[in-house]
């Protein structure tokens, strides 16, 4: 008799099938350059040669991951090869080389470099989020929640249409505004309204050893709109960028001006992004120097921390923070994050249950359903 096949938990088998379906869709992608029908190669939204390679150790970075372990899933920080970090099947070999040659050879130097980097970042999200619709809808379909699945599909289409608009805006700027190629940024910080988008940019004169390419969606008055965040570390500097649709500038005005008012504010925002996004890649030594207790809290916070409302209360980049606040009495409150004692947290299971409730409530609110929470 042949060897008896090991029985696989149906839930895990279903998760694996969804994961395989996503991977198959991703690998069939064509070049995202307008009008090109060639097959896409594995590209990077952040330069592997002059950015990811500068913070990787022997080709390894750290990034948040999720573990498919029933009955629950959990987030944790794990290794990822720098070849995979920020990667996507975005462009054919020809267009990947032509479009991003400058960004793969030097940090941002001109306004055109800013526009091109943001075009690269937006395409990364369009590619990944197109496929992630499968992960959102398949579990709902399996449970017979067809109304919620249809709602997720419709919301995803609207979201992707917004990304497509950013793609078109940036593409046109790259090809029909040659003056951007010769317009250097005269200052290390700039706020620019270009066409229908507003870009905040600052070059920091030190390395923040984490690469970030993420997007947040906000809502107000029955409208949804997006905020793009990109952080690119180099050997001795960092480029930090944020982009919004110009129509929603008033919504973000105070927040953006506060963030770009001081380098310590940018650092705080980067740490907040770490706790509220999955699209970042960290220098391993930063995390490895944490105590075991600090590692535990940070990993639990990956699941539970809301991230968009308040600054994160634990320092991730201690050495950078210390350097920025030394001799600056107006930032004395930042010293609390450098103390040896860590903030107290409620038990993880309680925090997790509250977060799960908030996720379900958000889904139901999107369907305009109201229900009472059990106390």
pLDDT, tens digit (0-9, with 9 covering 90-100), for 29-67: 889 999 999 999 999 999 999 999 999 999 999 999 876
**How far are the Cα atoms of 12, 13, 17, 199, 295 from residue 20, in angstroms, in the given order?**
12, 10, 5, 37, 31
Q: For residue 5, what is the DSSP state? A: P
Instruction: Decide which of 310 and 362 is more confident.
Output: 310
CA distance 178 to 176: 6
* Pick from 22, 217, 31: nearest CA to 123: 31
Q: What is the pLDDT of residue 375?
A: 26
Tens-place pLDDT, residues 218-269: 988 888 999 999 999 999 999 999 999 999 999 999 999 999 999 999 999 9
**How far are the Cα atoms of 23, 160, 319 from residue 156, in angstroms, in the given order?**
19, 6, 40
Q: Tell me if 115 sits within 8 A of 170, measured CB to CB.
A: yes
b/e map 347-370, b = 16+ CB within 10 Å: ebeebbeeeeeeeeeebeeeeeee
* Pick from 121, 18, 76: nearest CA to 303: 76
Tens-place pLDDT, residues 130-149: 776 655 555 555 555 556 65
What is the phi/psi pair of residue 210, to 5°? -145, 130
Q: Tell me if 216 sits within 8 A of 306, measured CB to CB.
A: no
Domain spans, the chain: 10-366
Q: Tell me if 244 sits within 8 A of 225, measured CB to CB.
A: yes
Average pLDDT estimate for 115-127: 95
* Pick from 304, 313, 284: nearest CA to 351: 304
Q: What is the pLDDT of residue 76?
A: 85
Q: What is the pLDDT of residue 339?
A: 72
């Amino acid at each position: 008799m042949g060897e008896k096949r090991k029985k696989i938990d149906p839930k895990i088998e279903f998760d694996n099938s969804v994961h395989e379906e996503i991977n198959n869709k991703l690998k069939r992608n064509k070049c995202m350059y307008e009008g090109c029908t060639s097959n896409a190669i594995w590209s990077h939204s952040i330069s592997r040669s002059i950015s990811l390679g500068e913070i990787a150790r022997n080709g390894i970075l750290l990034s948040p991951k999720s573990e498919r372990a029933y009955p629950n899933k959990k987030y944790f920080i794990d290794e990822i090869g720098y070849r995979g970090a920020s990667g996507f099947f975005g462009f054919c070999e020809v267009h990947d080389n032509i479009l991003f040659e400058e960004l793969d050879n030097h940090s941002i130097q001109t306004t055109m470099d800013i526009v091109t980097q943001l075009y690269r970042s937006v395409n990364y999200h369009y590619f990944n989020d197109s496929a992630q619709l499968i992960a959102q809808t398949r579990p709902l379909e399996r449970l017979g929640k067809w109304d919620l699945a249809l709602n997720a599909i419709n919301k995803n289409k609207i979201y992707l249409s917004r990304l497509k608009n950013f793609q078109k805006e940036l593409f046109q700027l790259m090809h029909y505004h040659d003056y951007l190629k010769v317009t250097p940024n005269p200052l290390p910080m700039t706020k620019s309204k270009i066409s229908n988008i507003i870009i905040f940019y600052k070059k920091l004169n030190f390395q923040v050893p984490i690469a970030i390419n993420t997007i947040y969606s906000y809502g107000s008055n029955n409208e949804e709109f997006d905020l793009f965040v990109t952080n690119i570390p180099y050997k001795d500097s960092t480029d930090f960028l944020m982009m919004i649709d110009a129509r929603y500038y008033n919504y973000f005005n105070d927040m953006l001006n506060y963030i770009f008012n001081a380098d310590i504010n940018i650092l705080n925002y980067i740490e907040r992004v770490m706790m509220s996004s999955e699209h970042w890649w960290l220098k391993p030594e930063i995390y490895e120097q944490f105590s075991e207790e600090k590692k535990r809290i940070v990993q639990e916070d990956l699941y539970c921390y809301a991230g968009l409302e308040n600054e994160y209360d634990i320092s991730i980049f201690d050495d950078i923070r210390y350097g920025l606040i030394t001799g600056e009495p107006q930032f004395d409150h930042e010293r609390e994050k450098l103390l040896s004692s860590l903030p107290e947290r409620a038990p993880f299971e309680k925090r997790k249950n509250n977060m799960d409730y908030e996720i379900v409530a958000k889904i139901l609110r999107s369907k305009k359903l109201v229900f009472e929470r059990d106390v």
